[in-house]
Amino acid sequence: MRYQYGLEPWPQHYACLVDLLGRANRLQEALEIVEAMEMGPTAAVWCALLSACRIHSNMEVIKQTSYVLHDVEEVEKVRMLHGHSKRLALAYGLLTTPHRTPLRITKNLRVCGDCHTFTKLVSKHFQREIVVRDANRFHHFKDGSCSCKDFW
């Protein structure tokens, strides 16, 4: 921004950049941006970083990697699964809504087997009703089971 367009970044620009990096699970890079700010980080910047950390740490509660078909180490499988948009939406919903309120998620692709199992476990563990609309149908998750009876 500074070198190509001659614009000085505002705190809002830093907050957006930290938020984008955080949502992409690039937390170390987000922290480096915060630490390198010439001005002191604002509350918005710290909130963006904290929110990203909370979202990704919330996903650590339940790990299941049996659906990852790549021949990679377990740590890499977990990292790959954490990037699924449905998991991120679910983690964000758990953080930003009151306990026991239903969550509704819309997805333009079919739900993968791992995300389906993950959502069943989350619905049981967090005592939430979760409705997911994927490309083919609605899935209603409640108490650890899905309305599709695991056939989709």
- Residue 131 CB-density burial (10 A; 0-12 exposed, 13-18 middle, 19+ buried): middle
pLDDT of residue 103: 93
| Between residues 23 and 99, the one the model is more confident about | 99
Cα 45 from Cα 31, distance rounded (Å): 10
**Cα first-last separation, the chain:** 47
Q: pLDDT digits over 124-144, tens only?
A: 888 899 999 888 889 999 999
Q: What is the pLDDT of residues 66-108, one digit of tens each?
A: 544 456 676 666 555 555 677 778 877 887 888 889 999 988 8
Task: Please state the pTM of the whole predicted model.
Answer: 0.53
